[in-house]
Every structure is written in C-alpha cells, then in structure tokens.
Amino acid sequence: MSLSILLSSFPPGVEEHAVIQQTGLPILETIASKSPQIFLEADDTLVHKFNVKISGLLKSKSPVCRWFGAYLAKMSVDASPLILKSHGATWANILIHILELPEPPVTTQIAVQALSSIFANTVGKSELTREITTPRLPAYLKLLLNKLKDIVKGFTSGSSNASANQTTVLIPTLVKALTRVLRQQSTSFRPFSGGFHTCLVDLLNQSISSPASIPDELLQDICTAYVCLHMSATKGTEAEEWRSACIAVINEIHITADQLAIKYVREDNANSSSNNNYNRHPVLNLQPAGFNTSASASPESVSPLAYVKHFEVLFCLLTSFFTTPTKISVKMPLGAIEDLTDRLYSISRYTTKQPVLDKTLYSIFLSVMDKVHVLVTALNITLLPVVGNSVLEHFDMLLHHISALCDGADQTVQLVLLQFVSKLLVQVSVVPKSYTQTVSRLIHPISTSLVTDRTTSDPRFQQLSDFISNSKAFQNPVPSYVNNVVSEFFTAVLKTMPDLPLNIRAEIDRYFIFSSNQSGLNTSALYPGNLARYSVAPMAARLDSGLGLASSLIHPRLPPLAVSTQNLTKTASIDPSATNGIASQPENTHEDDLYHSHTSITTTTTEYQAQLSSHPSQTMEIDELPAPVEPTPASIARKELPPPLVTNRPSEPIVAPPTPASQPAPNQPVQQLVDDVVPLPAPTVAPTYAPDSDSDDDVEIPIIIDADSDSDEDM
C-alpha cells in the first residue's frame, strides 16, 4: 500500500468517528510495517499532503481524531527525519496545547509519547534542538510534572473516585517520559529534579502502603528514575550524588531491620547499628512499615508481615543502582553493601532470642527473615558481574553465613543460596583446602535429599512386586529448575576444589548418574581432582548421547608421543667348517624395508659381539647383550631384520611381526654363513622430557583485589 492510497482513505473534510474506527487500525499497521520505505518512495507532494492531514487531525474537536493524529505524528517523526524537520515544531506546539486540555487519559498518553519522540529525535542535532526542543522543553516538563503531582496527591489523600482511578494509567507514561528527558537533556531538567524526586518518593511510599496500586513493572520504572536523578546534579558532582543516594537506600534498609528485629532477637555488638559508623537518620523519609506516622503506634506493635513489602521495595531500589547505566564513573560502596549482607544474614534462627517471646510471632518473624535472605542474596547475585573479584575479600564471611543458612532452610532459600555460591566460586580459580569442610556441609544434604527423595517414602509401595520392574511409577521427579541450580553448583565445585574428599565427590557423581546429567559427568571426568582413585569417564561414555566427548577421554585419538622399537628376535647358526666370505641371503621382496642392504663387519677384540647359541631357535634380547668375548673362528649368521614397529598406544603390548615365508622354518637346516655378520640397528630410545616445574607442585593462588579496610569500601 502506497502513501497515496492511505491519503485516499480520508476524503477531504471527513473526520468522523466512524471513519477512524474503520480505517485507523489498517493505516497504523501499514505505516508500522512499511516504514520508512513508504515515505521514501513517495514524492514531496504526497508527503506534504500527509503531514497537513496529520495537522488537521491534531486540531480536530474530536478526542478520537486527536488521538489518531498524535499516533500518526509519533510514527512519522520516528520514520522520517525530513518530516521531523518540516513539521516537528508545528506538531509540538499543537501537542503541548492538547496536554493543557482536559483530555481522556488515552489521548493524553499518546500525546506525551509523541512529544517524547519529537524531542528525543532532536538529540545530537544542534539545528533541530535549537528550533524545536529548546523553546518548548520547559513548558513540556512543567506540564508533565504537574500532572504527576496531581495523581500522587490523589494517592496520598485516599481518593477513590472514578476519575482518580482512570488517571493512574498515566503514571507509567509520565515517569518514562520524564526519565527519558532526564537522561538526554539533563541540564535542562535540573530545575525540575527536586519536584520529580518528591513525586518518586511518594510513589515508593504508595507501593509500600498499597502494593496493588503500583505494579511491579511500574515500581521498576520508578526505581530507575530515582537512580537517574544524579544526572541532573551540578557538573562534577554527579558521582558523589550517585554514591550518596545509594548509601541512603542502604541506611533505610538498616532502619527497617532495626524496627523488625528489636522485638524478636538480640543482635550482637558486631551487628548493632551503633558500631558501623553509618548515619541512621532517614534520608528518603519513607513511611515506617505497617503504620501511619501520625498514629500512636510503635514498631513493636506491628506484625512482622508488614515489613515484607517494605524490604521488597528497598531492595528493588538498591538493585537498580547496579543495573542502571551511568554517564560517569562512580565509586561503589561495596563495603557498606557487604556489611548490610553480613548483618541480615546474621539475623536467623541461630540469633539469640528475646527472653519473653510468643512462639507464633517468632515463627512468622523467621519466615519474614527467609524472604529477606532471598532478597539480599539476589542483590549479591546482581552485584557480582559488576564488582568481579573485589567481592573475594568477603568470601570467608559469605561462605560462613551461607553454610549456616542452608542447614534446614526452605528449598527456595537453599536454591537461591546455591545459585549465589555457584557464581561466587567462579570468581575463584582454586578454592583453598581450608574451605573443604564448609562446602562439604552444603553438598551432603542436597545430594542426599535429591537422590533419596526420588522414590516414595511409603514402605507399603516398596514391598510391591512391580517396584523393581516399573520403578518409574513410584518416583517423584525432581523439577527441572532444581536440577539446573544444583548441577551448576556441583559443576562449580568440581572445577574449583581439587582437594574435595572422595566420599563427597562420589555423592556428586552419584547425583549426576541418577539425573542422567551428561554435561556434569563429562565435567567430573575432565576434573578428577588431586585425590582421585577412580574415573567416572566409563559411565559418562555409556550415557553419552553421541557427542563422543567422554569416549575420547578413554580412547584418545592422538599422535604417538615417541617412536618405540620392539625387541627383535635373533637366530644364529655356527658351522666350524665354514670359510670366510659372505653367504647369500634371501632376496628382500619389500622395497620399503628399512633394512634392505647389509654391510659386512670385521670382528675385533674390542667390539661387543652377540653371544649366539648353536641352536637355530635360540633368541636373545637387545638389552641383555653380554660382555665382549674373544671371537671364534666360527661364522655367525643372522637373518634379515624386520622394520621397527611403531605404535601410537604405549599401553598396548608390542607384538612381533610374523616370520616371512622366505625365512627358513625352525625345523629346516639353516644356511651356513661365514664370519661376516649383519649389523644390529641401534635401539631407538624414546626422548625424555624434563618435567615442567609448574605442572605438579605449584598451586595457582587466586589474586584478591584489596579494597579499603573500612566498612564503607570503594570499588
């Protein structure tokens, strides 16, 4: 469909509601599918008529026509820079006027998106920025911010009328539009950053007090916008603003933990809030969890469940600091984050309880802390790709807490902790032997539960005769996501812990065999460890699905390491009546034989001679040559030597080649030869290689990036 056909869909003067309903959607689909070719193929006259038509729709009195015109304007400026240059300023003026009118939310929404596209497409183009964006951006930001403040005010006042509920659909559009301008024109946004910060904090409070009103996707957009506020700071202070905002969120989490733990546990001095040198005054001014600040309630009277959403919002905000790109290099407070992790991990069932405590509330408190442990572990998983090896300074603390938390924890908590340990071990090339016992405490209960729980626990079913013949009918299959997490953890352990005890390693191999994990078995065969007494390669080859990796471990197809020669068999005959001379030898029929010519050697008293027996079948090994003796007047004869046998499998025995048919049989008389003998070839000695000094005894030591010793570390 060409642009002329699209224009014919709207006869002049016809802008009725029915025409938009019939042709609006096909027109939008055509422009979206054929953009920008549909504008490049049309001449300037058709493009101008199309732009004029859009201007007419934007000026229409019908909200539906204005909605349709704003949609066409957005798609046109995204597709053609020429349309943006010719009609961008005109449409921006009309769209700003539409925002000033009491339009339906759907019309206001598309008008905001169209203006956002117009201003975004002028970034990096000084002429268009000067003509379109600079004169209109302040009015645009003021309108958006006022609309957002009105919606937030309706939230805080508790308004429940229909109009207030309808305007809430504008929050995602307004937040995204303001964030887009904040990233692209941060200097122009600076006068509005304070009002935007206030609106974002109010929305965070609303997500805590009324979670249903703020969906998860909108909460993520709010957190991203909060992180981007540092871009509008004074030039040169952006990094400090980012760091201060991050530490403020960490302080809010500490304050919430204080309110939650004060009634149930007694934290030791190492984890108390008075010894970690942090400012505990609220910076975000968030409402306390579960109650209104104007009421006379106290944190002790609030149920532990009221803190769950509070922690979720704060951790979502803190995680956004490490997932949102920044324009400048920032100093990450890694020490403050790990101190927070240390404190929250310490609050568990092993922490000292208060003397007078209701058991039911204490059980609820432990379930809330399990949720907090999942949140802080997810934060560290997100943090690992950002900080890299810098987290290894806290490796001992993290592994100590994870080993204690996994003992008897819920499966959800265990899986998240194992996922974290897997990614943590990847940062370490070789785990020191001192951590073997700690990691073993993680492996044993997991491998035992996953393998033994596959069968039913009812003893009556185990007595059935069909249990052996049809055991799958009595098995409880392990979910795939559980197998994935556990396999990743076991694989990381095999690669980084060569000193793992044999019984623990056997449990890992047993799990891989029970779960038919071919990749895990191959990894176990490739990393046998320092204490290995067996190899799982045969089992891996049996379960191989055709890749041949495990089979190649058992039967490598490699070139020979060195050329080896077999021990040759020698036959001799002594005839006292023989005279000096060279006896005739059987003609060699093999042209490629290495020993096709013979040279006579005159025996002397100083040379080594082979002491040969008078029997034709007597043999002697090369390595067993006797001491030199005086030569006898007898003639010594030897048969022609076969070529050396080369093998590429040193472990296989070397078999001597069969006796050629041309040589005399053992029972036949041997031809008499004279004193001249056939020379023995020097035995080929396999080259010896000096062992690499770094191959066996040296242990690779992981390099840990040192950070500040203070609790508030900079990465």
Q: How would DSSP label each residue in 73-132?
A: HHHHHHH-HHHHHHHHHHHHHHHHHHHHS---HHHHHHHHHHHHHHHHTTTT-HHHIIII
Strands (E) in 283-380, as ranges, are none
Of 412, 451, 442, 549, nearest in space to 504 by CA = 442
Q: φ, ψ for residue 36 (rounded to 5)?
A: -95, 10
Q: What is the pLDDT of residues 246-296, one digit of tens each?
A: 999 999 999 999 888 888 887 764 444 434 444 444 445 555 443 333 333
- Name the pTM for this structure: 0.70
The predicted pLDDT at position 134 comes to 92
Handedness of CA 100, 105, 111, 115 (dihedral sign): positive
Q: What is the pLDDT of residues 189-240, one digit of tens each?
A: 999 999 999 999 999 998 988 888 899 999 999 999 999 999 999 988 999 9
In the predicted structure, residue 55 carries a pLDDT above the cut 50 = yes
Q: What is the mean pLDDT of residues 667-685?
A: 42
Q: Are 376 and 339 in contact (CB under 8 A)?
A: no
Within 13 Å and on the Cβ side, how many CA atoms surround 591?
0
In the predicted structure, residue 512 carries a pLDDT above the cut 50 = yes
In the predicted structure, residue 137 carries a pLDDT above the cut 50 = yes
Q: Please tell me the least confidently modeled range out of 5-14, 119-128, 363-372, 400-409.
A: 5-14
Q: What is the mean pLDDT of residues 608-629?
A: 44
Of 67, 64, 70, 72, nearest in space to 31 by CA = 72
Within 13 Å and on the Cβ side, how many CA atoms surround 397?
16
Could you tell me which residues come within 8 angstroms of residue 247 by beta carbon, excluding any fewer than 6 positions away? 278, 333, 336, 712
Q: Could you tell me which residue, 433 or 689, shows the higher pLDDT? A: 433
The predicted pLDDT at position 213 comes to 84
The predicted pLDDT at position 231 comes to 94
Q: What is the mean pLDDT of residues 438-445?
A: 88
Residue 418's CB: how many other CB atoms inside 10 A? 23
The predicted pLDDT at position 466 comes to 53
- In terms of DSSP H, where are the helices of 101-214? 105-120, 126-128, 134-157, 162-167, 170-184, 186-189, 193-209
Give the helix, strand, coil percentages of the chain, each rounded to 5: 55, 0, 40
Q: Are 288 and 252 in contact (CB under 8 A)?
A: no
The predicted pLDDT at position 120 comes to 94
Burial call 305-324: b when 16+ CB within 10 Å, e when fewer: ebbbbbbbbbbbbbbbbbeb
Q: Could you tell me which residue, 203 or 522, shows the higher pLDDT? A: 203
Q: What is the mean pLDDT of residues 684-691?
A: 41
Q: Is the peptide bond before 36 cis (omega within 30 degrees of 0)?
A: yes
The predicted pLDDT at position 240 comes to 94
Q: φ, ψ for residue 353 (rounded to 5)?
A: -85, 160
How far apart, in Å, are the Cα atoms of 531 and each of 384, 497, 590, 702? Answer: 31, 11, 52, 21
Structure-block tokens of residue 261? 């733990």
* Helix or strand run (H / E) with residue 520: helix 518-526
Q: What is the pLDDT of residues 84-113, one digit of tens each?
A: 999 999 999 999 999 998 888 999 999 999
In the predicted structure, residue 626 carries a pLDDT above the cut 80 = no
Amino acid letter, residue 212? A
∠ Cα 200 257 413 (to 5°): 95
Of 131, 145, 140, 128, nearest in space to 97 by CA = 140
Q: Could you tell me which residue, 646 or 61, shows the higher pLDDT? A: 61
Mean of pLDDT over the chain: 74
- Quote the percentage of the chain above a pLDDT of 70: 61
Tokens 């005399």 found at: 664
Write the secondary structure of 546-577 as one string of H (helix), E (strand) and C (coil).
CCCHHHHHHCCCCCCCCCCCCCCCCCCCCCCC
The predicted pLDDT at position 545 comes to 59
In the predicted structure, residue 713 carries a pLDDT above the cut 60 = no
In the predicted structure, residue 33 carries a pLDDT above the cut 80 = no
Q: Could you tell me which residue, 521 or 664, shows the higher pLDDT? A: 521
| Chain centre to alpha carbon of residue 478 | 23
Of 134, 205, 221, nearest in space to 172 by CA = 221
Q: φ, ψ for residue 175 (rounded to 5)?
A: -65, -45
In the predicted structure, residue 591 carries a pLDDT above the cut 80 = no
- Report residue 641's pLDDT band, with 50, 70 and 90 as the boundaries: very low
The predicted pLDDT at position 252 comes to 92
- Report residue 354's pLDDT band, with 50, 70 and 90 as the boundaries: confident
The predicted pLDDT at position 158 comes to 60
